Structure 1
Amino acid sequence: MKKPTLRLRLLRSFLVILTPLVLFLYYENYYAIKIVREEVSQSTSNVLSIHITQIDRTLDEITHYLLQQIVTSDTKSAYLDMASLPETNGNYTLAKIKIHNELTSGSTAFENFHSFFAYSVKKEDFIFSRSSFTDTNDLKEMLGEYVREKVKGQSFSDWIVLRYWEKSYLVRVAQASDGVYIGAVLLLEDLIRPLRGLDYGDRWEAILLDTTGQPLTKSVMSPETMTAVNRKLVTNPLAFQVFENPADHKDYLLVSTDFKQAPLRLAAMIPEKSLLQRLPFFQGVIYLIPLGVIVIFIFYSHYLRKMLFSPMNSLIMGMRRVVKGDMEIGLKEAETEELNFLITTFNHMVSQISHLKINVYEEMLKAQQSEFKHLQAQINPHFYLNSLNIINSLSTLGENDLIKKMTEHLADYFRFITRSHRDTITIDEEVRHIRNYLEIQMLRFPEKITYNIDLPEPFSRTMILPLMIQPFVENAVIHGMEEGSKPFHIEISAGNCQEDPNCLEILIRDNGVGFTPEVLSTFNQKKFGDGTGTHMGIWNVYRRMRMAFGYQAEVTFLLGEPNGAIVRLTIPAIGAFHEMEEEEDGKADDR
């Protein structure tokens, strides 16, 4: 599992520390805005409630004024005359003048008041404190119909809302005498006009509603908004609440207040943005917090990169180059004391490792060369002893001619070894020694051994290790030849590997007894011992091949078809050994 980097851990730590602070600031500002919203909403609701209270007080005073008109002796007699005297009587006219003057003087005491009126049902005679001809005609038609309907058995006790054409009125009627009624008329637009003069921004709206939620005053609100307002007021009739306008999807403060003296309800929608426009600090902080976090994060990242990450990355890259074997590095000093100490120590360590590596490499070369020479010297006596054993056997048999040929072959071989002292030879030279060995064995076992060597010309000059093939040929003769009249045949061939054209393949085949399963498994697992047992020759060759060619050298043991054994030697076919050959030839010429 890959561990997290230092950069990631530091960034996590920064976020762990900064995130709670940012959340706290957000919560603090959110809480402050919430408190301010509630306070402003409560204050706004109180202001509107004060206006409603003032209107209620005015309505109560008007009601009291109407009742006072009925019971006051001066006005009471005038209403009685209006009810009992005919219209042609002079006192009737004086009574009407007196009532008009009284109602006109009384209407001046009330602000945003529309008109007082007196109405004789029998005579269908109206008296208005308001002198506008158009208004009085509209009022006569509306009030006359209303009073006549009420006279049929209903009482006049409360303020009611009447609508005439596109206007809505608030009306209060009282009976002054038999057939004569007095009352007050207020235009609802006049009642709400002072509220619309309050400074709550450009898009705030105040409207009067009846008990069913229907608008009584003019409004710019859409039907969709009005429906949503009514639903909100019915389901949650609070003094103030936050309301999302479906028309523009913005938040509004919805304030609703019921009138005590009339069947009316005030609904006011104030944009929340207008209420909070005096709070730029809190709103600004909300927007500045993310920007501030980004700025801090950028500076923090730049600081960490300059002070920590860049030196650390440089140090890590240097270590990776050292792992790859590149010692030619020199890291720049850091700006902090701790990292500078690490980088200086690293530079000094790399310098020491470079010198130590050179010394160790030289010692390894010397040791490897010494071991190689030792193995080379070890194989020569091994072959020599086997040859002496053959000569001894021939001497016992009295084969002097064969002994002569054998000694000539041995003399040629050891003359070559003692003269050249080379680490590599050509395959052609190796094959020449193998021919000498096989000729000796053929002299020893007439008509018992045959051989065939297939060495194409391009491979005859390829450089290999001395005595790399001969020990396997010798083992084949010693361990593979069967008793009887069947000839023992050996084949030696060289060529490129099928799987890799840059690989040289040497095959030693025979038709002998082959390998037992146990021996075949042991050999392919490279269990040749330590060079002191029965498989010393194989171990010696394998060890020298690995020292010279590395893991590209391989020895494989196979069973032949239908019988016999196969030994496959593979080494890299590179031009380095040709150069070594030229170098050795040059040294030989110098000698």
Structure 2
Amino acid sequence: MKNARRTTAYPVVQILRKTLWTAIPVVIIFMFVSGFSFWEIRRQNNLSLENAITIYQTDLSHRLDAIAHFVQWTVVHDPILDPFKTDGHVGDFRQAGNDLRLRVSDMQYSTGSEFMYFFYWDEGDIFINASELTVDYETYKKIKKKVIDDFENVDNTEGFSWMPSVIGGKTYLYYSITYRHRTFVSLVSIEDILAPLSNINLGSHGNIKFQSLDGNTYYQSATRPEGLLKHYYNELHFRGEDAGLPFTLVIESDMLGNYGKIFLLQFLVFLAALALSLIMGSYILATYKKVILPIKIFSSNLSRMDSLSDAESANLDLTDSKMQELNQINDQFKSLIHEITRLRINVYEAELDQNKFRIHFLQQQIKPHFYLNCLTTIDSMLSLGDVSAAQKMLQFTSKYFRYLFQADKDFVPLSSEIAHTEDYLDIQMMRLSENIEYSCDIDDKYMDVMIPPLLLITFVENIIKYAEPAGDSLQISITGSDYVKNDADYIEICIKDNGQGFPEEVITKISNGEYLTTDSGSHIGITNCIRRLKLLYGDDFEFYLENSTAGGAAVVIRIPRKE
């Protein structure tokens, strides 16, 4: 007994599909892990930097406070400066200066030798450096000039604080107090203040900015990165108010900092995995081109056969592959294509002819409905000698029948159908001598819309035959308006009367999509119209009947708007 063949996909297709679906999540996982690692390394680097800056700010704040206190105490309370008075001697001044330098030297031991101190006594015009100079002589002269200018121009009654000052092209922090004509100054360069931060890795384009408490930058250690590079650098703000400092530090640093090598190593692992995925993808692509694509082309060409003509089908190659099996199938299919296409066209044409015959039959079924009544009326008028009425009736009737017998097309302009309906009403008013109030409220822009012939007359004729008006006259109105459905344009035609309305079972059947077929043949006109609409539009139309609460009935037809 032969083994049953498997109907599942080929093994190669399954393997390729599994390989592809395995590679995709691997790449996604590595991207997610790399992104998370980048975020975590950045966070750790920022945290490390924040801890270092916090320690630095705390130490610097203590030193600045200590120096400020030392300067204040020395100039206000320390008797070491008492010899600087107008009745003193030069030797006393020299000894007092030496004592001041010793006092400052002791202070520098605890606060740092980078802080320079200067003393100025205006009454004796004495300016001395109270600490070892770390600047050249030209800068020293500029410092001296600034101290003297500040003494003469600055009001010291508003309080004291460390202020930025540019002297000789360098930025310094400057603290000065004047008391009883004696000015004591402490000065330190920004570069010396930044020295403890020199070991922090900020990156090749990292920089530190000093900003005043109102946000103005007065010093920047390096040029900030520009272009895309600036997005790779963090900007961290350390407020001076929070640390008790007279300035705010703004630090731009490499996102990864000291952890960059770790991330680089992990990124290389990711690149290796990505390279492996690309190799796998290349293998999948090569297999796809050599095996799967020819099969897909074969299948696609098969699906195109329905849209090709006989000549195109006969010349169609289902595959251009070098696979022998597919070429054999191609030759066998080409021998069958022509016959299959011919049979398909014959069946389609037969169905089309059948539909045209059914439409024509339904139209012809409508035409004879009114013939005999019109001829009988004309005969009666002639018998009574009313020749003018008979002549007028004959004119209306000829126009009516001329249109009726020429309505063999599937569609006619709405204006022609309206004119035909009005001719019918003229005939009825002469034949029945009834008072019929007719109105047509349709804009001229709708008159070129194409509708099936004899569509309106069916329902108007139904009103004349069956409607029992509530008042003295029968009222008939026809309206037309736009209707939009699924972004497509339709025209809505509504035919109303003031009769007794439709029976509920008729409305129910129409709502349920049923035909109004009875043994007596009543409502055959409505049924034929619905069938015609079905044949011409398929399901792309709406038709329903309704009764008004104030009396009367309405027929609503919605069909695609075709000019």
Shorter-chain TM-score bucket reads: 0.3 to 0.5
Q: Whose radius of gyration is greater, 1 or 2? A: 1
TM-score (norm 1): 0.43
TM-score (norm 2): 0.45
